[in-house]
Amino acid sequence: MSPRRKNSTLQDKLTLGKYVLDSLSAGMYSHPLMSLREYIQNSADAIDCLPGLTDNALIDVSVDGRNRSLTIRDNGVGIPYYRAKRTMLNVGCSEKDPVLNRGFRGIGRLGGLGYCDELRFVAKSQGENIVSTCIWDCKKLRQMIADPSRSVDVESLIKDISIFKQEKYSGSREEHFFKVEMDGIHSGKSELLNVPAIKSYLSQVAPVPFHPDFSFGQLIDKELSTHVKSYRTYRLFVNGEQIFKPYRNIVCLSRGNGEAVKKINFVELQGESGILGFGWLGELSLQGTISALTDMDGLRLRYGNILIGNKETLSGFFREKRFNNYLIGEVHVCTNGLIPNSRRDDFEDGNVKDELYSAFIREIGIPLSRKIRCLSSERSKVKNSSNLATLFENANRIIKYGYISSLQREHMVKSLDAVNGNGSPEDKKIAAELICNVMKSQHILSVLDSRHRSNDDIINLFNKTLEIVYAETSNRAEAERMICRLYKMISEKSCGS
């Protein structure tokens, strides 16, 4: 490369193209509900910034199926009018502090762009009479991105598709709020209109309180408040119904009945750089996996009381992933040394992250994997011994009443022989004796001593046999085939004699 060429390259203006916006919005999340998480995270941060008591603070989600719209409204600090424009329009330059706030990248707000036709932010700060509104034309945005002939940079793209306006507020000066309004939500992404799905998702993800019915909620709240500096819960409503975490006193297992949580165990996750995490686990008998329908299954990882990733995020740190589904509980991060990645499905890489997960493996992943495996092998031992009891019972029946067919006897000897291969010494002894006696056993008909019966008796018996075969076999065609074979055998035999 000549020096001249090099210079001209340096003078060229760098362009951030239109796809950047696409990548930061629709391209960012694997599920539309994740954009809700971003807005609720912003609301929680806004509530945290309120001065004084915040008992009346709330986050209100309303979903309107008829109008295909969704609104998230909080009464947090809002945005002062002089900062509103840059806060609502700038990309990737939030003024928030990554340590004090959950969001700080300045991109979460774009999450809704991909899922509706119009996205509106409306904000008002206390003591002002100005309300600021920013409208994003998402439909136009998508058209411009899809059109290969339009090559625009992010800045002009945003100017083109957004309108910012400030108006005199008709309500009280004292009001303060931030609103996200999504209009024209696509039918294809109807998850954003699916109220039960939204409730279930937010109950697992959002920083909401434990349900009043969960009797351990207060205890856990107390412990978490002591150990996790940033632990807070927020009142969140979806179409008027308050959302709580899914935990309840009774846990429903995938197979079988419910089981009561006996008590709560608390775990401290310590690394070289101090305490990194604090968790609670509901004590269960670890008989099986918890039904996924309960939304309670699996230890969940939370940062700022918001879920990181999903319920599988910690599963990889058990010896077998499914072991996590035997457990209920949460691990809250309590160090400033970790930063969630922009997708919020894990933390940014670094030593502290490795330390946190190592501590998790050491304190929870390995010990509980071991416990679950031990319990499971004990259960299968019990199951084997009950199988063995049935086997011995059947063998004794053959010895007492005779065998039905020589094949049955052969199978029985084989099964008993298998016990000899890997049973306990006592079982082996019993099996060996039974093999001896089964070998000596007679056919069921000889035991009944049918030789002294008359021909009529035998024909009678044969008729009854055929009847039973036909009546008791569930597959009729199979029954007829069997009867034909039996009949053929008998008649050929009588022809021969």
Partner 1 sequence: MKKKILLVEPAYKTKYPPLGLMKISTYHKMKGDDVIFVKGRDTAVQYQYWDRVYIGTLFTWTWRETIETIKFYSATLFNYTGKCFIGGILASLLPDDLFNATGIQPVEGLLNDPRKIDQDDDVIIDDLPPDYEILKQVENANFKYSNTDAYLGYTTRGCTRRCGFCAVHTFEPTYIPYVDIKKTVKGIAANSGEKQNLILMDNNVLASPEFDRIIDDIEELGFVKGAVFGKTKRKRIVDYNQGLDARYLDEAKMKRLAEIPLEPMRLAFDSIKLKNVYLKAVQLAHKYGQKEMSNYILYNYDDTPEDFYERLKTNIDLNDEFKNDGTKTSIYSFPMRYIPLDAKDRDVDTGNGHWNKKYLRAVQVILNVMKGPVMPGKQFFLQAFGRDADEFKAIMSMPEEFIRNRLVANWKDLDTVEARWMPYVRDWMTEFARLSSTEKEILTRAIASTDSSTLKEHHAKSTGRVKKLLEFHLEENNIVAAAKKQYVTR
Q: Which residues contact 469 (CB under 8 A, 6 or more apart)?
A: 479, 482, 483, 486
Number of residues interacting with partner 1: please give it, by CB under 8 A: 15
Site for partner 1 in 354-413 (CB under 8 A): 354, 357-358, 361-362, 365-367, 369-370, 373
Tokens read off for 174: 């004292």
Residue (370 or 464) nearer to partner 1, CB: 370
Asked whether the beta carbons of 29 and 111 are under 8 A apart, the reply is yes
**Would strands 258-260 and 264-271 be described as parallel, antiparallel, or unpaired?**
unpaired
End-to-end CA separation in angstroms for the chain: 107
**Would strands 59-64 and 236-238 be described as parallel, antiparallel, or unpaired?**
parallel
In whole angstroms, the minimum distance from the beta carbon of 368 to partner 1 comes to 10
Residue (94 or 369) nearer to partner 1, CB: 369
Residue 300 sits at φ, ψ, to 5 deg, of -110, 145
**Would strands 59-64 and 162-168 be described as parallel, antiparallel, or unpaired?**
unpaired
For 345, the 3-state DSSP assignment is coil
In whole angstroms, the minimum distance from the beta carbon of 325 to partner 1 comes to 18
> Which stretches does DSSP call E strand in 80-172?
118-124, 130-137, 162-168
In whole angstroms, the minimum distance from the beta carbon of 259 to partner 1 comes to 24
- Among 29, 39, 244, 317, interactor with partner 1 by CB under 8 A: 317
Tokens read off for 169: 């507020």
In whole angstroms, the minimum distance from the beta carbon of 111 to partner 1 comes to 31
Site for partner 1 in 235-294 (CB under 8 A): 272
In whole angstroms, the minimum distance from the beta carbon of 374 to partner 1 comes to 9
Give the range of 190-198, 250-258, 316-324, 402-410 binding partner 1 by CB under 8 A: 316-324
Residue (201 or 357) nearer to partner 1, CB: 357
Residue 9 sits at φ, ψ, to 5 deg, of -65, -40
Give the range of 207-215, 353-361, 399-407, 477-485 binding partner 1 by CB under 8 A: 353-361
- The H or E element that residue 267 is part of is strand 264-271
Residue (272 or 348) nearer to partner 1, CB: 272
Which letter does DSSP use for residue 17 in this model?
B
In whole angstroms, the minimum distance from the beta carbon of 8 to partner 1 comes to 42
In whole angstroms, the minimum distance from the beta carbon of 301 to partner 1 comes to 15
Residue (212 or 367) nearer to partner 1, CB: 367
Residue (106 or 337) nearer to partner 1, CB: 337
In whole angstroms, the minimum distance from the beta carbon of 279 to partner 1 comes to 16
- Residue 468 and residue 471: Cα distance in Å, rounded? 5
Angle (CA) 100 102 107, round 5°? 120
| Neighbouring C-beta atoms of residue 440, cutoff 10 Å | 8
Give the range of 91-99, 254-262, 351-359, 435-443 binding partner 1 by CB under 8 A: 351-359
Contacts with partner 1 by CB under 8 A lie at 272, 316-317, 319, 354, 357-358, 361-362, 365-367, 369-370, 373
